[in-house]
Structure 1
């Protein structure tokens, strides 16, 4: 070795394995420390692979990939001279203790390295803590592309099962078709381990038993981790590669956005881990969004104190529980008329939109106990008054009362609910990637309408009905909008997504709304835009014009006016904007943004006559605007 590397001083052993060993060294002329990887003698056919590894590493010129300085082949020696990283491995750093913020920073750095490799058609195939190193300044670098595979755009089929069992994707175990999602699965395993202290699948009696868990067993919830963050990690651990993020870059955007929501502005600087990120990922990671309370993922697993009483989660202050809603004075009545009824003296129910989604405070004090018999009697009296058209006042309790039992079945939090126009169907958008349907014709005894509508690959954040009730729409964290045929509620097999998902948003779809005639759909996203879609042909929807831009932050809500000519949008930038959409292909802004709110605008709604707009904000206020 000394003869093969006359310009280097050789040092002690840094590590060893079946490939051979790694020695420390120093370049005499440059006074640069190096690591020298030596292929062990007797590896038939390994020399060519060793050369391929060196060339792969040399081609990946990225701050988060270990640099190669030289390849030396002489006689029986094959040597790769690489930069020496003396900050230790991720394994060693994790043993000393890592915060969740540091784990997220690791995920962003490794994603950046994988993006570079995947762009050159290179899969790593062995992402694990031992192959993730740090330099003395804390800059993370991915190492050991020894079993990397070069693929073309269509992916590659594994010629043999290679990798580390605890981090291998199902398709890798089955020697199936590999792609960027294979490396993302391994990264998901690493992040799961960093956040929970254990791999997603552990304590198996044999390697084959461990593989079986990767193939068939869902990973356990990430106890104590905010749900928005846990969801990003679990998506990378999907069994089917199609259900994982479409790229390492997309995964990094989701991870950066989730971490920014949980840990607030500047969280990356507090980790001590050097990061070299693309501009859009850096912006998402350091987003100046107001820190929001996040319920731990484990909170949904069983009984316990209400999240509002749980104190801080990962340093995020809890949202205080509000005071009980005041009850209107006087005797509440039900005023019935032909085909309509109004309950007076009851406060309206408000759905808390996406931006404050995970920790929802109680809306009112616990309701007074109501017996089943009394509840049924009140309901029957109201129904009788409505059927008869009588204006006779019917006494009802002075507070809203629960109708029957809660609708259950979702395995995660509910992001939005919507009624059909006739009031007989209710849908809820769930963070378990489904839309559930309920027959609520009988309010006391609602029933489920078949299996949940599945199809999105990430949590669903918004849902709405057309005015005729024949079509529902959902938008989610997979950046897509999907249409659902709701014509026949009783045959789940017919309730399938209509056409292909609507794509174009580059971040989460946070709000959706149909025009009154049901022919136009608006979608608002975390990419700061509102998009319009022609859905007159439900099987072949098309985009209308260019995205509506102007908001400088996430667009959290969108609504059409009753005549369908005006669109309103509310944003994280504290403003409301109005748009003239009479010409759907050439929408234009109307006037200046409406300012006054001091926090994100979470919801907007038009009055029935279209002359007034209401906006609700995280600043605890509702504002009314005359827009006639």
Structure 2
């Protein structure tokens, strides 16, 4: 691009122009200084490339100027004159992430901090309908103080409230999500995938896939090849990175914020609570992310997809402001030779959001979405036609299908000792301990290191209170909450494995409900407790200080009958409640002092709803009820949840409990018909029963729970026993 600097100077009389910082096919970037404020700036100069570009540019620039976040490069001004379009933005003089990575000055803690900072920037953008689509090390810069900033939102996808009026933009092939290559409908998961590629590269020194052979081979890897486990990366971090690189967007974290929570917790587990201070990266994080980074996680990280083969080092990539990168090409077909990191233009029908599109089978998506450049269509079609039918993870809502060889069998003898029906079962984080609570508020612990020969640990913990109707364990297994007929919620201390002392009450009972308390649930971080009862309300409690819990906000009203079950989403920002009024409701509890309802109630059950559970990725909710069915709901868009497939039928009586396996591919249900059933929900639009019902209990099955490795299922029953089942 040839730019008349005189025209630029005339368009910006308040600025002094400096030298060129970078250039490329889309324009150039000049250094500058605001005369009045004595503020250094970068001036991006763009020229209209097609009809309508000026209007698109103005819409984008105005919206991008609203992205006021510490980890986003700030836009100061927009000037248009004729076909000349200028964006005046913050000048960063701390270099690019590419440069830091090449110099070898970035520690593993620093790499994780980069992931958190970029996630924070993306969360800000996604909340405003902006999808970046070109996250890569060259677009991540630093100021002189070391604060990270994400750049080049100027080539982002912009969506207004009514639909897909958006600019056209290139993405870089080395970091492209499969749906971006196929010109499918895009959502925030595409940016999460690109960030996963960047983090993989920072932690291992190489990208997930070798970019050297050809652009077509690189696309094929993104579409069909599972990345190798990142060599030398601790397992908790590897799991987070590989989950972000799932082929199906539905198998990735549901948001950049959720990815950051997983990453912060994994890093705290690996490097300890003070790891961010060792990172050498300035961070401005939300409170929940900072808390997750400060404390090791209380729940296991979701398992990552299986891996394939390793990839060699990535060649150097271009300059800092995104337009000098040789990988960026005009809209015509690029000539893709060996080693060239070419890019493609994504179609104008792509848009942020649309979570239902993530569940489409990929072949149908490919047929319905056109790729603009004809050569891209031919190349991808040749790749996809031969492989899409056999590629793991390209089924709707799943990474791989469930093996047909799963035949659950009982493990050992029933666990006895409970003095009343078992209300709750749960595994410890390491899977070595099983905990159960019964209706007499007796808590027992079992050593299940050898699943075939479990043994009791110490003495059962007991308390004296009114009839206990519900019980829940904190994520770390150190605290039990119970609700009962006395209208109160109580907290109980669970000592460590070797302590034989009795269960001790923590603080005073939580008072507020005006009728029986039927349901309690802890948030994933263990800091918030939810309770629901026969007064038709849900209440939230701050239990961070276990001895002095306090109410949070006002009771949640909306149900017209008893609240029977509660479940938090994996990111802790959404609460689901099930009621005797036949409905399920979703609540925004991201700010627990001011919770609000989300969308309309979920209707479909024809009788009371007794249990709810979120899938590990937070995109699916399962509910079960007295109509003898289990239902699945797509809740990726919390404001517009929709049913998934047909109700699951097979139980011959009320379904009392449901639970997802850690990988989200199996669903367990316990019923008043005395059986447990397993369902293959890998394709959540077409769930189906797996094998025969599990029989052995002689009374209704009230609770089911998977071990962290997914290999064992525990069930508790009104017959006063627990049973263990080997799943795989």
Give TM-score scaled by structure 1 length. 0.51
Aligned-partner Cα distance in 2 for 1:31–1:159 = 33
Residue 518 of structure 2 is aligned to residue 585 of structure 1: yes
Matched residue SS, 2:208: coil
Residue in 2 aligned with 1:127? Answer: 135
RMSD: 5.2
Residue in 2 aligned with 1:18? Answer: 25
Residue in 1 aligned with 2:251? Answer: 243
Q: CA deviation at 1:151?
A: 3.6
5+ long unaligned stretches in structure 2: 1-7, 309-400, 446-467, 511-515, 521-530, 532-540, 548-728
Aligned-partner Cα distance in 1 for 2:19–2:66 = 28
Q: 1:154 to 1:569 in 2, by over 3 A?
A: farther
Aligned-partner Cα distance in 2 for 1:176–1:6 = 43
- Equivalent positions of 1:19-38 (< 5 A) are 19-38=26-45
Aligned-partner Cα distance in 1 for 2:77–2:152 = 15
Matched residue SS, 2:171: coil
- Equivalent positions of 1:53-202 (< 5 A) are 53-97=60-104, 98-151=106-159, 162-202=170-210
Aligned-partner Cα distance in 2 for 1:109–1:54 = 22
Aligned-partner Cα distance in 1 for 2:236–2:402 = 13
Give TM-score scaled by structure 2 length. 0.45
Q: CA deviation at 1:511?
A: 8.1
Aligned-partner Cα distance in 1 for 2:72–2:232 = 32
Q: 1:161 to 1:46 in 2, by over 3 A?
A: closer
Matched residue SS, 1:59: coil
Matched residue SS, 2:189: helix
Q: CA deviation at 1:250?
A: 1.1
Matched residue SS, 1:215: helix
Residue in 1 aligned with 2:238? Answer: 230
Residue 19 of structure 2 is aligned to residue 9 of structure 1: no
Q: CA deviation at 1:69?
A: 0.8
Aligned-partner Cα distance in 2 for 1:255–1:522 = 33
Aligned-partner Cα distance in 2 for 1:289–1:173 = 35
Aligned-partner Cα distance in 2 for 1:191–1:206 = 23
Residue 223 of structure 2 is aligned to residue 215 of structure 1: yes
Is this contact kept in 1: 2:423–2:469, CA < 8 A?
A: no
Is this contact kept in 2: 1:85–1:135, CA < 8 A?
A: yes
Q: CA deviation at 1:245?
A: 0.8
Q: What does the per-residue CA deviation read over 1:54-97, in whole Å, with 9 as the maximum and x for residues that have no partner? A: 21320111111111111111233211100100111111111111
- Larger-gyration structure (1/2): 1
Is this contact kept in 1: 2:40–2:91, CA < 8 A?
A: yes
Q: 1:243 to 1:58 in 2, by over 3 A?
A: same
The structure with the largest strand share of the pair is: 2
Matched residue SS, 1:556: coil
Aligned-partner Cα distance in 2 for 1:519–1:154 = 53
5+ long unaligned stretches in structure 1: 302-431, 444-463, 478-507, 524-543, 595-628
- Equivalent positions of 1:191-340 (< 5 A) are 191-287=199-295
Q: 1:466 to 1:133 in 2, by over 3 A?
A: farther
Matched residue SS, 2:23: strand
Is this contact kept in 1: 2:424–2:437, CA < 8 A?
A: no
Residue 55 of structure 2 is aligned to residue 48 of structure 1: yes
Aligned-partner Cα distance in 1 for 2:136–2:81 = 31
Q: What does the per-residue CA deviation read over 1:316-354, in whole Å, with 9 as the maximum and x for residues that have no partner? A: xxxxxxxxxxxxxxxxxxxxxxxxxxxxxxxxxxxxxxx
Is this contact kept in 2: 1:33–1:84, CA < 8 A?
A: yes
Aligned-partner Cα distance in 2 for 1:87–1:512 = 51
Aligned-partner Cα distance in 1 for 2:478–2:402 = 20
Aligned-partner Cα distance in 2 for 1:161–1:34 = 24
Q: 1:50 to 1:117 in 2, by over 3 A?
A: same
Aligned-partner Cα distance in 2 for 1:78–1:261 = 48
Is this contact kept in 2: 1:60–1:116, CA < 8 A?
A: yes
Aligned-partner Cα distance in 1 for 2:165–2:181 = 12
- Equivalent positions of 1:462-611 (< 5 A) are 513=435, 515=437, 555-556=476-477, 570=494, 578=505, 585=518
Matched residue SS, 1:2: helix
Residue in 1 aligned with 2:591? Answer: none
Aligned-partner Cα distance in 1 for 2:199–2:145 = 22
Aligned-partner Cα distance in 2 for 1:154–1:214 = 31
Q: CA deviation at 1:53?
A: 3.1
Is this contact kept in 1: 2:274–2:294, CA < 8 A?
A: yes
Where relative contact order (Cα < 8 A, 6+ residues apart) is larger, the structure is 2
Q: What does the per-residue CA deviation read over 1:141-195, in whole Å, with 9 as the maximum and x for residues that have no partner? A: 1111233123468996999784111111111111112111111111111101111
Q: 1:520 to 1:196 in 2, by over 3 A?
A: farther
Is this contact kept in 2: 1:155–1:177, CA < 8 A?
A: no
Aligned-partner Cα distance in 2 for 1:123–1:260 = 29
Is this contact kept in 2: 1:465–1:471, CA < 8 A?
A: no
Matched residue SS, 2:71: coil
Aligned-partner Cα distance in 2 for 1:75–1:154 = 29
Q: CA deviation at 1:9?
A: 1.0
Matched residue SS, 1:172: helix
Matched residue SS, 1:186: helix
Q: CA deviation at 1:289?
A: 8.4
Q: CA deviation at 1:569?
A: 5.5
Is this contact kept in 2: 1:39–1:78, CA < 8 A?
A: yes
